[in-house]
Every structure is written in structure tokens, then in C-alpha cells.
Amino acid sequence: MADTSARTLKLLSIFGTGAALTAAELAARLGVSPRTVRRDIDTLRDLGYDIEAVRGAGGGYRLGPATRLPPVVFDEDQAVAAAVALQTVPAVLSGVRENASRALATLHRAMPARSRLHAEAFTVSAARNYWEFPAPPIDAEIVRAIGTAIGRRHLVRAEYTGDGEPVTLTLEPHDLVVWAARWYLVAYAREAAGWRAMRVDRITPRAPTHTPFERRDVPCGDPVAFVMTTHDRGDVAAEWPCRGSAVLALPASVVARFAPGGSTVEYRTHGSCRLTLGAWSWPGLAGLLLTFDADITDIEPAELRGALRSLRTRIGEGLRAGPGG
């Protein structure tokens, strides 16, 4: 009976997304047979929920438009996801720690005992990922201002601090992207008549413009792909004990996609770019460069060149000593 109730609750949460799904699709999500799904749908109908049958190609079942769900309907997996998200959000947004803690406490109180036990198993302690040096948490008010402009499709006037003096830009904000623990705005800059991927921590919005704009097609067809392949997105080289650079015989967009966090990519030619990055040791830094499997030139500083020579010698000796060497 408990399994049936848990499954019915999960089915209700799936219907809460508003999608129309076939019995086979619902069965695959729940790990049961289509016949069991139909019985669970009858159970929900007996409880007063309006579950519509959508006929024709692509039909299935969906929640009726007049149906009101309870204030909180989380299945076990959703509860865990929400609890983890509420614990980690202060790492990327400032000014929300107290609100996130209160929301997490409310969520715990609303959970059944079993779901609460599973969620608490994912309690997150403050930890530092030493392979990444993310920017400090973003001011939640800045994210709210930009996010509101995106939702309303209103122009944003903002100060942007790049490599030089701050500049005032008129932006058509399209999407916010969080990648490698950093916030980026994907926007069309009217002054430059071009698309930009911009670090949100360098943006200071002015007062709302209330001026609408028509949404454009984002480059790459996807804002995340655009951010990941844009080399001049405002990143700066992180502080490491060892830091160096080299010119790689690869397009800047390719290197930007796979460069470690805290590195910078500088466009040189259509097929080459300079990558600046850091590591705990010079051999470690040399190893990171080699992972790109491309010709490298103009290597700086001398310590990095020495580490590459040392690796070449060690690899050569290993190959000669090994089977068939």
C-alpha cells in the first residue's frame, strides 16, 4: 500500500508539469506496466483529480486545466533535488542565505519522514573545490533585475567593466547561464551590433528601461553552447602557484569549451589561440596543455618549458624501457 501511495504521488507530480504523456511513457518513468499506470490514474480520479485522456496522434493523459494541486507535491527524488539546491544556492548568489535556510526548513517540515531522511542524507558542508576558483557569489538583486528584464523582454542599460574602463551598454538580455560556477548573461549589445557572453559580476544595471525588444535567435541555437564556446566572455586567470601560457593550434572556440576554470583564451588566428592557465606545479601545468593534443608554440615562462622537456624525457625513457620499446 505504501508503494502504491508513493507511486501515485509521483504520478501526480509528473502531471504537475503540464505535459501530456502516454501510458507507456508514464510506465517507463514509474517503472511499472501501462496497466498499473491506468489503475493509478483511476485512483487519482477517485480522489477528485481531473485527469484528461488526450486522443489522437501524440495523445495520452494530462491534468485538467481546472485542477488545483496541493501547495507542495514533491516525490522523493524532487524533495532531494530541492533540498540540495537550497543548500548550495548561497555559493553562487549572495543575499539569499537566510531565505534559503528558511525555505529548506519549510520544505523539511512538509516532507514525509522517509523523504526527509533521504534529503538529509544529502546535507552539504562548506567545501572548496581546489580545481576551480569560482567568482564570489553574485548579488541576488542584480540577478533579479536582469532576470526580470529577460522575462519581460525589456532593454537593459548597464555599466560593464571589462579589461579596461567601465562602458555603458544598451543590451537586449536573452538568457542567464551558470557554467563552471560563474554567472553569464547572453545578450545582444546594440552599440556593437553583436552578441556578447558577459560575466554578470561585472555588470551594474541602471534603472529599468521598460523598453521592449524583439527576441532574436541566439547563436549556436543554445545559450549554454554559446557561452561555452565564446573565448572573450570576461574570464580572468585565477591565482595559482604556477601560471603560464602557450599558443595552441586550435580555434579559440574549441579551447574555450574545454579550458579549465580560471583560465583565459585569447584569439590569435582562425586556427590558433593563446591559453593562459595555472596549476599547483609546473609538471601539472604542462600536463594540462598536453591534454589538448595540439601543436604548442610560444611557451611561457621558462619553468613551463623546462617541465615540458622533463616530461618528454621521462616519457621517452618509459617507452624505451617498456614492452616493445
- The pLDDT score that the predictor gives to residue 51 is 85
Residue 228 counted as domain residue = no
Average pLDDT, the chain: 83
Whole-number Å distance between alpha carbons of 79 and 119: 7
DSSP for 152-205, written as a single string:
HTB-EEEEE--SSS-EEEEEEEEEEEEETTEEEEEEEETTTTEEEEEEGGGEEE
Q: How many domains is the chain built from?
A: 4
Question: For residue 28, what are the domain limits?
Answer: 2-63
Residue 231 counted as domain residue = no
With a cut of 90, say whether residue 89 has pLDDT above it. Answer: no
Residue 186 counted as domain residue = yes
- The pLDDT score that the predictor gives to residue 114 is 66
Same domain, 33 and 91: no
Residue 202 counted as domain residue = yes
Query: Binning pLDDT at 50, 70 and 90, where does residue 179 land?
Result: confident
- The pLDDT score that the predictor gives to residue 212 is 96
Whole-number Å distance between alpha carbons of 80 and 102: 16
Neighbours of 128 (CB within 10 A): 8
Residue whose entry in the numeric block shows the C-alpha cell 533535488: 81
CATH number of the domain to which 305 belongs? 3.30.70
Residue 236 counted as domain residue = no
pTM summary value: 0.64
Phi then psi for residue 28, to 5 deg, are -65, -40
pLDDT tens sequence across 124-150? 444 334 344 456 778 888 888 998 899
3 state DSSP class of 63? strand
Pick from 12-21, 160-169, 271-280: least confident: 12-21
Q: In angstroms, how far is CA 249 from the centroid of its own chain?
A: 28
CATH number of the domain to which 27 belongs? 1.10.10.10
- Specify whether the backbone of 300 is left (phi greater than 0), alpha (psi in -120 to 50) or beta: beta
Residue 252 counted as domain residue = yes
DSSP for 104-132, written as a single string:
HHHHHHHS-HHHHHHHHTTPPPP---TT-
- The pLDDT score that the predictor gives to residue 321 is 81
Same domain, 249 and 315: yes
Average pLDDT (52-68) is 74
CATH number of the domain to which 200 belongs? 2.30.30
Same domain, 50 and 91: no
Give helix 76-88 / helix 113-120 axis angle, nearest 10°: 40
What grid cell was written down for 251? 580555434
With a cut of 70, say whether residue 188 has pLDDT above it. Answer: yes
What grid cell was written down for 194? 553583436
